[in-house]
Structure 1
């Protein structure tokens, strides 16, 4: 399934989770520009529209519409300085989102070549839960999963059994 340069395990888990909680009849606003996973969602029959790459810390207009049933945000909130603002402004009644979990044995991700591709936050599960609750969401389903890498060493070994991603389905309370 989705071989090649794509993160096969993460996409597989995310797609399976999405199919369990969202209908292909629902209209989806996917936060972020068109990306490999939004293309996979479309191929799987989901009705997906992406945002345009605006700075969601400063411009939340894209989510201030009742035009969509669901907002998806896969590995987006860790890049925002203030994810609360977007979460609070979402008008859709359903949210499916994933975030990388903070790993005690690794620093937060920081690209050396792309200044926009950095993590301002890496959450513990309880922190993300609290953020969602404070923004008016009730989590209905959650799952964590690992992200093993094909390298040798202590950190790669720890990645085999330490959850790296946290995926939630929430509804507006």
Structure 2
């Protein structure tokens, strides 16, 4: 039985064009972090990706030069363990009933002041465009509030679209998505 608000990471999900575009743009953002600067060498010894393993994890391992574990627990309830220099939560928080719990758990496993958390979520959209798999879709100010409440501060942030422009010209809902659909992304450190 599929858990409500959770995506199944299967071949279809991993080859979806929107996901592939999102992963490409996510990597471009992450490459801008000093932690991923190949000129000085990666300072990351270990990484953790919240959620099921996707092809993006392989790219993160190459980028940071360290292995990435994936969580196999219920992120709404279970504790996290270990110590990680980099943690990623790309398109995860919107699927959780309690994203604050997950972020507080991440704080416990970050390995010191140079450790980083990378987070991305879809920006809030009008109800008719909201994904049935998302429990939370947050505005930028709501996401900022959650980040602060969890004890993080944003080093840098950005946003991007996940579809090619011809998609937005295929009907009314796609056209509305051109104005409302974007991903919010942050590089965070403990406050």
The TM-score bracket by the shorter chain reads 0.7 to 0.9
SS of residue in 1 equivalent to 2:31:
helix
CA distance in 2 between partners of 1:56 and 1:8 (Å)? 24
Match of 2:73 in 1: 54
Higher helix share: 2
1:144 deviates by: 1.0
Closer, same or farther: CA 94–124 of 1 in aligned 2, 3 Å? same
1:57 deviates by: 0.7
Closer, same or farther: CA 95–134 of 1 in aligned 2, 3 Å? same
Give unpaired runs (5+ residues) of structure 2. 1-14, 37-41
Q: Does 1:82 align with 2:101?
A: no
Match of 2:60 in 1: 41
Give the CA RMSD over aligned residues: 2.2
CA distance in 1 between partners of 2:94 and 2:151 (Å)? 19
Q: Does 1:138 align with 2:145?
A: no
Correspondence for 1:95 among 105, 117, 126: 117
TM-score (norm 2): 0.75
SS of residue in 2 equivalent to 1:20:
coil
Correspondence for 2:48 among 4, 29, 32: 29
TM-score (norm 1): 0.82
Match of 1:158 in 2: 176
Q: Does 1:121 align with 2:140?
A: no
Give unpaired runs (5+ residues) of structure 1. 111-117
